Chain A
Amino acid sequence: MAKQLRILHYVNQFFGGIGGEEYSNTPVQVREGPVGPGRALQAALGDRGVVAATLIGGDDYVAENEAEAAVSILAALDQVKPDLVIAGPAFDSGRYGLGCALVCRVAQKRGIPAVTGMHPDNAAVITHRRDLLAVPTGTNAAEMAQMLAKMTALGVKAASGDELGSAEEEGYIPRGIRKLVFKEEVGYHRALDMLLSRINGEPWRSEIQVQRYETVLPAPPVRDLSETTIAFVISTGIVPRGNPDSIPGARSLEAGRYSIEGIDSLDVENWESVHGGFNTRILNTQNPNYAMPLPTLRELEREGVIKAIYPYFFSTVGNQTAVGPAQDIGRRVAEELKAAGVGGVIQLSG
């Protein structure tokens, strides 16, 4: 029988049995043996390995104190000396996903193979795709045992030292890594075979993975503007002067949320654009309102054309942000606006 693998399993404070959201600031800590889902992991491992210890970290703590958390993770790895690290699965929980990703990244730097599991849209996949060996999961935590079984199979293979096959063969989320391979048929033969299959209505597959963009259906028209609160959601990079949230000039992953309550017009003393993809000189020395026409909307508010302007606007820099993170920003903004009863949004893009 092959040597039993020593496993270190990472879970968040919830699955670690410490508590819910109110305990999400729990620092990283080690417990001996399996905890919570670790027992299902042990069952999936059978005699292939033993869950030697469980690493537990609070979602907020790990997401907000990455450097300190990494030090604790490293200490745990040196203490437990695992052959393999299993993190999560985190399903669609973004902060938990980032925690799992951090544990995997630290372990891999130490030369220890690491496997996690999460939804392909998890923020951690978007941010750390190339570094993660992650089994795709759904959003339903009730699939814990099945997902751990898949993660175990992948982990045991990764720990065996055998070269892993492609994402499709092994069942992990594609990392975006291209490898040079040899095919028996030359390219034009393969292309013609593909074309013939397509013409004949037979199954065929492209050799190139193309990102598919979703079709966004327009929202239904606003029925009565005079009864509707309107919000500004902009990607022209307007922020309070000094950029308190450090919104970057490109590849932004966040939107700032700023109050315009009682303000009729943006001035250059208090506002600026931090957009890095166009010339902001006029906005920043003369008139920031070109990037968010607040005075005009205030006029319409006074005239009763619209009911009100939402007292906060959301601003990011729409410069080279990938589709996934942009959707995340949009989702977060939409959640607040929907909850606040905002009926329409004016979007300005930079």
Chain B
Amino acid sequence: MEENGKEDIVVVIGTPSPDSSKLYALTVTEGDPTWAGALAGAALNLPVFHITEAEIRDQIDEQVFEDELGGVDMVLDVEDIAEAVRSVREGVQR
């Protein structure tokens, strides 16, 4: 990113819970909230989406989504995950 800038970069995550989604979303926006890794204190402010969010999902071929992620709605709490990631994203936009 230092070489190419952050234009046209979107981060897509596939984390399994609202908490972990928020953690990873924060890591690529405000910086690692656990302050453990290389991105501690590094505010990349990248737009971040969960793969199950409509913005991403609608752009994926239905059959491909079904093959790779079929049934994900039953396994994951996709609504709360989307809310967690959205809140981080919107926090950045403000």
* Chain A residues packing against B (C-beta within 8 Å): 14-15, 17, 36-40, 140-145
Residues of A within 8 A of B33 (CB): 141-145
Q: Which residues of B contact A36 (CB under 8 A)?
A: 35-36, 40
Smallest CB–CB gap between A139 and chain B, Å?
A: 10
Contacts of B22 in A (CB 8 A): 142
Other A-B pairs, 10, CB within 8 Å; known A141-B34, A142-B34: A15-B36, A37-B35, A38-B35, A39-B35, A40-B40, A140-B19, A142-B22, A143-B33, A144-B33, A144-B34
Flag whether B41 is at the interface (Cβ < 8 A).
yes
Could you mark each residue 11-27 of chain B with 1 if its beta carbon is under 8 Å from any beta carbon of chain A, else 0? Answer: 00000000100110010
Which residues on A sit within 8 Å (CB–CB) of B23?
142
Determine how close the nearest CB of chain A comes to the CB of B40; give it in whole angstroms. Answer: 6
Q: Which residue of A lies closest to B23 (CB)?
A: A142
CB of A160 to closest CB in B, whole Å: 26
Chain A residues whose C-beta falls within 8 Å of the C-beta of B41 in the assembled complex: 39-40
Contact B35 A144 (CB under 8 A): yes
Q: Provide the bound-state CA to CA distance between A140 and B18, in Å.
A: 12
Q: In the complex the two chains form, is A37's CB within 8 Å of B26's CB?
A: no
Contact partners of A144 in chain B: CB under 8 A: 33-35
Main secondary structure of the interface of A (DSSP, over half): helix
When C-beta atoms are compared, the residue in chain B nearest to A39 turns out to be B41
The residues of A that contact B36 with a CB separation of less than 8 Å are 14-15, 17, 36-37, 141
A15–B33 Cα distance when bound, in Å, is: 12
In the complex, what distance in Å separates the CA atom of A17 from the CA atom of B36?
7
Which residues on B sit within 8 Å (CB–CB) of A39? 35, 40-41
- What CA separation (Å) do A36 and B34 show in the bound complex? 9
Q: A284–B19 Cα gap in the complex (Å)?
A: 52
Q: Chain A contacts of B34 at CB under 8 A?
A: 15, 37, 141-142, 144
Contact A37:B19 (CB < 8 A) given known A142-B33, A144-B34, A144-B35: no
Residues of A contacting B40 with CB < 8 Å?
36-37, 39-40
In the assembly, what is the distance between CA of A143 and CA of B22, in Å? 11
- Mark each residue of chain B from 21 to 64: 1 if its CB lies under 8 Å from any CB of chain A, else 0: 01100100000011110001100000000000000000000000
Bound CA span A40–B23, Å: 16
Cβ of B26: which chain A residues have Cβ within 8 Å of it? 142
The distance in angstroms between the C-alpha atoms of A39 and B34, with both chains bound, is: 11
- Report the minimum CB–CB distance from A150 to chain B (whole Å): 15
Q: Collect the chain B residues with CB atoms within 8 Å of residue A40's CB.
A: 35, 40-41
Residue of A whose beta carbon sits closest to that of B30: A145
B37 to chain A: closest CB distance in Å?
8
- 13 A-B pairs within 8 Å (CB atoms) are namely A37-B34, A39-B35, A39-B40, A40-B35, A40-B40, A142-B19, A142-B22, A142-B23, A142-B26, A144-B33, A144-B34, A144-B35, A145-B35
A115 and B33 CA atoms in complex are apart in Å by 21
Assembly CA distance A39 to B23 (angstroms): 18
In the bound complex, how far is the Cα of B21 from the Cα of A8, in angstroms? 33
A18–B87 Cα gap in the complex (Å)?
Answer: 32
B residues near A142, Cβ cutoff 8 Å: 19, 22-23, 26, 33-34
Chain A residue nearest to B35 (CB atoms) is A37
CB closest chain-A residue, reference B33: A142
Chain B, 56-78, CB within 8 A of any chain A CB:
none
- CB-nearest residue of chain B to A146: B33
| Cα–Cα distance between A40 and B34 once the two chains are bound (Å) | 9
CA distance A197 to B11 in the complex (A): 56
